[in-house]
Amino acid sequence: MKNEYKTMIYPFDVESAPLIRHSNFIDNHNIVNIISPNGWGLCGKDAGHTDGGQPVGIIIDSDFDKALENCDTVFFTDSSMKIDLHKFVYPKIIKAAQSSKNIICTIKLENEIIDKVSNICNQNNMFFKYFTNESNSMISPPTEKIYQINTPVVLVFGLSERTNKFEIQLNLRENLDEMGYKVSQIGTRHYCELMGFHSFPKFMYSKSITESEKVILFNHYIKNIESKEAPDVIVIGIPGGAMPINQEFTNGFGIIAYEVSQAIMPDVVVFSTLYTNSSLEILQLLSKSFKYKLGYNIDCYNISNTSLDLRASKYEESLQYIVLNLDIINEKKKMYKELDRPVYNILNKNDAKSMTNFLVNKLVEYAENQII
């Protein structure tokens, strides 16, 4: 039965906002409390405030112990804000397990904590679901052959992290499903199975196989999904950034994006960028760079409501962002009316549906041209 488990999310910040907006994908869980540490400045605000989007009707609280009494399951999630795991997370995971709560965790834990929580949950006959993107096994492709993917493929790229990629993926899934399409999906996060689809494969992060083997394995991975699930469309989200921001912040040089570009040929591509004050020429330059580096044309853009704070990034030596209200993005879109392809704001529900309709029409157009 759906919504069987009353679930608390901790520590809640912008990373978890898509889980609230699309909680219908998390089968058998009803999110009843979202808890954020006091010092993060989120308590008392609607959860939609964290990503600058529309309100969702759930207020963020800080009282973990009180929420623990009112739930069956605690979902410990990754956060973009820094948190001392030993002080603020590990004790709460242990306490939740000892309180006979089910545990879901997407935070990377120390092996000692994993074993301890697992043992406590087993003793209390509760479940412990731990999601990680680490690959422990060595695998090699049986052949160097690259297979053609016959099902239409939608790729979702981002200039960097924090570009609403996961929000785009979930909206596409929701809207395509409502339109009656059977969707196979590979998501950017390592716990997508919790939401009913595939996580980006762990072998793509492995250090025990070569980069060329990853290209072949990814192609075989998608071909296997196509063969087993027989979908109408395959939606693939690409983790990380598609290209370096500058010499200091390299986004892993966009290596994963490049490897995917060698493994499969998409039918349509969504590219999500950070908010900037630049004119439409910046998108045109990005489009050319994307084409030359990855071999794809960008079919549509999404402007995220996140701006890169370069000064803070240099000070912290890691990328720092500023979240903007979605109305600012709605205004920004007006600058791009002369662009030769559409620009969307995925946090606007109308835009989310418009993007899906546009992509479906592109796929239909592509199929008709193939027949001709």
* Interval 33-72: pLDDT, tens: 999 999 999 999 999 999 988 899 999 999 999 999 999 9
Check whether 114 has a pLDDT greater than 80.
Answer: yes
Q: What is the pLDDT of residue 135?
A: 62
Span 219-233, mean pLDDT? 97
Percent of the chain with pLDDT over 70: 96
Q: Is the pLDDT of residue 82 over 60?
A: yes
Q: Is the pLDDT of residue 314 over 50?
A: yes
Angle between helices 281-294 and 255-263 in degrees, nearest 10: 60
Q: Give CATH 3.40.50.720 domain extents, the chain.
A: 5-130
Residue 232 has pLDDT above 90, yes or no: yes
Segments of the chain assigned to CATH 3.40.50.300: 153-371
pLDDT at 263 over 90: yes
Q: Where are the beta strands (DSSP E) in the chain?
A: 5-10, 29-34, 73-76, 102-105, 128-130, 153-158, 183-187, 198-199, 233-237, 268-275, 300-308, 321-323, 343-344
Q: Give pLDDT, residue 1.
A: 43
Domain 5-130 superfamily per CATH: NAD(P)-binding Rossmann-like Domain (3.40.50.720)
pLDDT band per the 50, 70, 90 thresholds, residue 370: low
Residues 6+ apart with CB under 8 A from 62: 35, 36, 37, 38, 43
Residue 9 scores a pLDDT above 80: yes
More confident residue, 77 or 139: 77
- pLDDT score, position 144: 87
Region 1-16: mean pLDDT is 86
Reply yes or no on whether the pLDDT at 213 is more than 90: yes
Distance (Å, rounded) from C-alpha 190 to C-alpha 106? 8
The whole-number average pLDDT for the span 304-318 is 91
Q: Candidates 3.90.550.10, 3.40.50.300, 3.90.1150.10, 3.20.20.140; correct CATH number of 153-371?
A: 3.40.50.300
Range name among 255-264, 317-326, 353-362 with the lowest pLDDT average: 317-326
Residues 75-107 as b or e (16 or more Cβ within 10 Å = b): bbbbbeeebebeeebbebbeebbeeebbbbbbb
